[in-house]
Amino acid sequence: MNLLSEYTLWRSLAQAIKVKIAAMNTVDIYQDLNEKQREAVMAPPLPLLVLAGAGSGKTRVLVHRIAYLLGEGGISPHSLLAVTFTNKAAAEMRNRLGQLLDFSVSALWVGTFHGLAHRLLRIHWREANLPESFQILDSDDQRRLVKRVIRDLQLDDTRWPAAQSQYFINGQKETGKRPGQVNDDGDPSKRQLVQIYSAYEATCQQRGVVDFAELLLRAFELLRDNATLLAHYQERFRHILVDEFQDTNTLQYDWLRLLAGNQGVLTVVGDDDQSIYGWRGGRADHLQRFLRDYPNASVVRLEQNYRSTATILAAANHLIRGNPDRMGKDLWTDLGSGDPIRLYVGYNEIDEANFVIDRIKNHVSEGLARQEMAVLYRSNAQSRVLEEALIASGIPYRVYGGLRFFERAEIKDALAYLRLIRHREDDASFERVVNVPTRGIGARTVDQVRQLAREQGISLWQAAASFVATDSGRAGKAMRVFLELVQGLAREVVERPLDEQVSLMLTRSGLTEFYAKDSSERGESRAENLEELINAVRAFRPESEELSPIDTFLAHAALEAGEAQGTAWEDCVQLMTLHAAKGLEFPIVFLTGLEEGLFPHQRALGGGEGLEEERRLAYVGITRAMRTLYLSYAEKRRLHGSETYGMASRFVGELPGELIEEIRPRIKVSRPLLAARPNVSRPNASTSTKFSGHWLGQRVQHAHFGAGVITAFEGDGPQSRVQVNFERAGSKWLVLSYARLEAASV
């Protein structure tokens, strides 16, 4: 669709919307908003920052503001752009807009940063210096390509792991830097990374592929370097609304500023206290930067919380005050104070898990649905023990995360065939499926073809063709079979509907049979997934007429990886990481593994920034709970095969003590360690009889070194020594009779 005809379409749509909105009782849709929400919704068309606390009705405000702008504001839907981070959030916004406005919102520019960037690049592929049907690399594709590049540069790939280089490249792109703009500070390894970046970029350009970060960077450069286009879009998008603003990276921020120009009005909604994606470029300080860059901006704070009890909010507020440089915000509620926060100190991670199970059972017997309970943890590895305990007690559960549908190997294989059928020059896809299912094309053959391609500067496909022409041996024959397969498919597939194309490809390539033969559970699930792919294709409704259906589908697969779990919504206990829990809420929340080193994570200690983000993560976790919050940690935990003795997370100590009720109160009286003899079980030892570690794991207090934990024990009597891992001073051996250690509780 060209821009002019799109514009005409918009004018008629705008007309229709005005009629609709005028017909609505406008008082009606705003009367349920609280005062602050209304203030945000009805703010004049000037830069606006909505500081939206957890559970304060953020999406509601965003959606109502759009309605307000379209109605009272009298702006055209054509001039509106709404940006989110996830497809889920975009879909949600669409949905709620649809409910509120009662018209088809499918034509509105509501989407993710990446989706919108992609749309711009598809329209302006020429100006962006991309081939018309450029393909999108997902992270996995990108890592493979980086790895390929590293090998081609003859670098040792153990010294230069692809994942690290990938991280580096994305980091540079996220700050808007091309290889030439990266300062290597005279650091040789950084120089090497820049070289990898540079070679990777050249390969991408040559192959006509873009990774996620590249979508953003290209879209930014497209506008920056093209005055006409910039003027056009600045003229068009007068109202830009951004969700989860604290998660924007530098490039996204710059893109928004560029697009808004001097005329555009930005409404940004976010919460600096919930910025937990700093490690992937998100910047909590963009909220403050926004206020500096737009001095005429107003700020509305949404602090009334509709989710949690006063107790939970008090704990959250108190904890987050430990962070410096906040915008500042205190959540409050009309609801009562409710249950105290319950703390359980497990003897080990199994004990901790059993506690969780025990409580879940209690709540179930009280009549709560299992899906109303969530068990949160810092890292995925922690889920295993919990899962084992859940299985053992027969409680259905669901773990969030894991591989998404379009990320599964068998699906990616199928997509690679589709790409190859469409674009014979797609080297990555060629490499992926040339021998999948196995058809006698070994690594040696592929190497030869690759060599040929490099020497002559041609694609793998072309190189394979000339290889077939010269090699009459077994390898040549096998390769010929492959080439003919793809070519044959390409011929047969034209003019057929998309689902038939896919179905045909799956059979002819042998993928279906390959997985069907595998009777293992894994093979069965893969065969099912391929079946599901045909369904996905059948259900797919391409939105754009610009691209062929197949290209549209491929782009969709890359940009929207789909759900991880296909299973239906049984009544399951919800297990997920703290990150995955953001944006969700549950009546009952278990925050587990609250140990120093685990949460806050070891790798986040060191510098201050990392710790602040961990604290925000804890804040996010606490504010997920509506009614009851449980905190737990284990004194001893098996991690990476060895036992570790952790101390209570500092975050537990940072909560107001009066809000917390210890479920199994430990003895709080300090007593000299010498008074106790090894081998005597502690008076407050758990019911478990497995405890045999003398005083290992005992928390102690030292006059000089502060708090620590005993990690080793040596000798007997007054000469005996203990190794103590101090919170601040590190690990030390101390002679018990000299060091006046005191046993300490939490």
The residues that touch DNA, with contacts defined as CB under 7 A, are 85-88, 112-115, 138-139, 147, 157-158, 161, 212-213, 276, 279-280, 378-381, 401, 404, 435, 438-443, 559-561, 576-577, 579-580, 601, 603-604, 610, 613-614, 638, 640-641
Query: Is 351 in contact with 549 (CB distance < 8 Å)?
Result: no
Catalytic residue among 211, 244, 410, 635: 244
Rounded distance between C-alpha atoms, residue 421 and residue 611, angstroms: 49
Is the Cα torsion angle 739, 740, 743, 746 positive or negative in sign? negative
Catalytic residue among 36, 58, 450, 699: 58
Catalytic residue list contains 58:
yes
The closest alpha carbon to 312, from 348, 275, 339, belongs to 339
Nearer to DNA, 106 or 362 (CB): 106
Query: Is 577 in contact with 402 (CB distance < 8 Å)?
Result: no
Nearer to DNA, 282 or 697 (CB): 282
Catalytic residue among 624, 637, 650, 699: 624
Give per-residue burial for 637-660: e unless 16+ CB within 10 Å, then b: bebeeeebbbbbbbbbeebeeebb
| Smallest distance from DNA to CB 609, Å | 10
Nearer to DNA, 480 or 732 (CB): 480
| Smallest distance from DNA to CB 343, Å | 23
Catalytic residue list contains 234:
no
Nearer to DNA, 188 or 641 (CB): 641
- Which contiguous run of DSSP H or E holds residue 119? helix 113-123
Query: Is 283 in contact with 249 (CB distance < 8 Å)?
Result: yes
At 740, list the tokens: 């006046």
| Smallest distance from DNA to CB 700, Å | 26
Catalytic residue among 243, 410, 413, 596: 243
Residues 6+ apart with CB under 8 A from 486: 417, 420, 421, 424
| Phi/psi at 309 (5° precision) | -75, 160
The DSSP 8-state label assigned to residue 273 in this structure reads G
Neighbours of 155 (CB within 10 A): 16
Nearer to DNA, 590 or 705 (CB): 590
| Smallest distance from DNA to CB 219, Å | 12
At 36, list the tokens: 């602050």
Is the Cα torsion angle 185, 191, 197, 199 positive or negative in sign? positive
Nearer to DNA, 58 or 378 (CB): 378
| Smallest distance from DNA to CB 335, Å | 29
The DSSP 8-state label assigned to residue 646 in this structure reads P
Per-residue 3-state assignment (H helix, E strand, C coil) for 436-484: CCCCCCCHHHHHHHHHHHHHHCCCHHHHHHHHHHHCCCHHHHHHHHHHH
Catalytic residue list contains 274:
yes
Catalytic residue list contains 28:
no
At 326, list the tokens: 């906040």
| Smallest distance from DNA to CB 165, Å | 13
Nearer to DNA, 249 or 501 (CB): 249
| Smallest distance from DNA to CB 349, Å | 12
- Residues marked active site are found at 58-59, 243-244, 274, 624
